[in-house]
């Protein structure tokens, strides 16, 4: 319950902060969002589209844990996953708050879950992240980014959203439950992942053992 209370406070605080900043009322918000979505990045500071892309990476990291977990929950994962691609933690946190901790997985993996469960998916995400960060480091202007962070609400909010995605990963029991489903009991794995923002979860996806499946015969034996 303590974890859920912390997550709820983070959600309430960020929603209040977002409403207080009123980003949709800024004249440049939709223009910047449109450029990011249509890949018109030529005139943008490279750090901004990099953060935008990394938010998508984070949504996929959580998806690789959420869809197996969602099989054991009483509500669907899809709305929260889709919403997290547009609003980040605002749509992601309700799932993490309402879900019940469950360390079991029953049945067979469908096609989508097979993709999310593959180590190769983690490798693709890790390579993509490395390329995105290299792009930001080589082509980005940090002084300009700091100025935009202070003056442009959209840049300000997606930057905070990215940091919150990193922060909540070890707080939610979603990660603990995924380890348990795969027979991983070493707490050193948890702390190694938890203390290495972004790359810790990515390396976990690259190295974790596959999710064991249960056939109908085994389930009712």
Domain that holds residue 89: 2-19+54-219
In a domain, 127, yes or no: yes
In a domain, 111, yes or no: yes
Cα separation of 169 and 150, whole Å? 26
Q: Which residues contact 91 (CB under 8 A, 6 or more apart)?
A: 79, 80, 82, 83, 84
Residue 78: name the closest of 51, 59, 97 by CA.
59
In a domain, 135, yes or no: yes
List of the chain residues with pLDDT < 50: 216-217, 219-221
What per-residue confidence (pLDDT) applies to 22?
58
What per-residue confidence (pLDDT) applies to 107?
80
In a domain, 146, yes or no: yes
In a domain, 165, yes or no: yes
Cα separation of 16 and 26, whole Å? 17
Number of domains within the chain: 1
What per-residue confidence (pLDDT) applies to 216?
42
In a domain, 151, yes or no: yes
What per-residue confidence (pLDDT) applies to 71?
83
What per-residue confidence (pLDDT) applies to 25?
52
Cα separation of 159 and 156, whole Å? 5
What per-residue confidence (pLDDT) applies to 217?
46
In a domain, 25, yes or no: no
Please give, one letter per residue, the 3-state secondary structure of the chain.
CHHHHHHHHHHHHHHHHHHHHCHHHCCCHHHHHHHHHCCCCCCCCCHHHHHHHHHHHHHHHHHHHHHHHHCCCCCCCHHHHHHHHHHCHHHHHHHHHHCCCCCCCCCCCCHHHHHHHCHHHHHHHHHHHHHHHHHHHHHCCHHHHHHHHHHCHHHHHHHHHHHHHHHHCCCCHHHHHHHHHCCCCCHHHHHHHHCCCCHHHHHHHHHCCCCCCCCHHHHCC
What per-residue confidence (pLDDT) applies to 219?
43
Q: What is the pLDDT of residues 192-214, one digit of tens each?
A: 999 999 999 999 999 999 988 76
Question: Is the CB of residue 155 less than 8 Å from the CB of residue 48?
Answer: yes
């Amino acid at each position: 319950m303590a974890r859920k209370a912390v997550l709820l406070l983070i959600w309430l605080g960020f929603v209040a902060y977002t409403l207080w900043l009123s980003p949709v009322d800024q004249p440049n918000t939709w223009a910047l969002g449109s450029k990011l979505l249509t890949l018109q990045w030529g005139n943008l500071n490279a750090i901004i589209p990099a953060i935008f892309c990394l938010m998508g990476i984070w949504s996929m990291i959580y998806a690789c844990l959420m869809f197996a977990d969602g099989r054991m929950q009483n509500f669907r994962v899809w709305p929260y996953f889709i919403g997290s691609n547009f609003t980040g933690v605002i749509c992601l946190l309700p799932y993490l708050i309402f879900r019940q901790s469950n360390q079991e997985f029953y049945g067979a993996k469908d096609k989508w879950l097979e993709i999310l469960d593959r180590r190769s998916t983690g490798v693709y995400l890790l390579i993509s992240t490395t390329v995105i960060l290299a792009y930001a480091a080589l082509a980005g202007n940090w002084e300009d980014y700091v100025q935009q962070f202070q003056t442009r609400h959209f840049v300000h909010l997606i930057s905070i959203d990215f940091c919150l995605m990193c922060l909540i990963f070890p707080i939610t029991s979603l990660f603990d439950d995924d380890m348990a489903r795969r027979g991983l009991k070493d707490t050193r794995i948890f702390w190694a992942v938890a203390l290495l923002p972004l790359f810790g979860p990515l390396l976990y996806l690259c190295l974790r053992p596959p999710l064991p499946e249960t056939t109908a015969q085994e389930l009712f034996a």
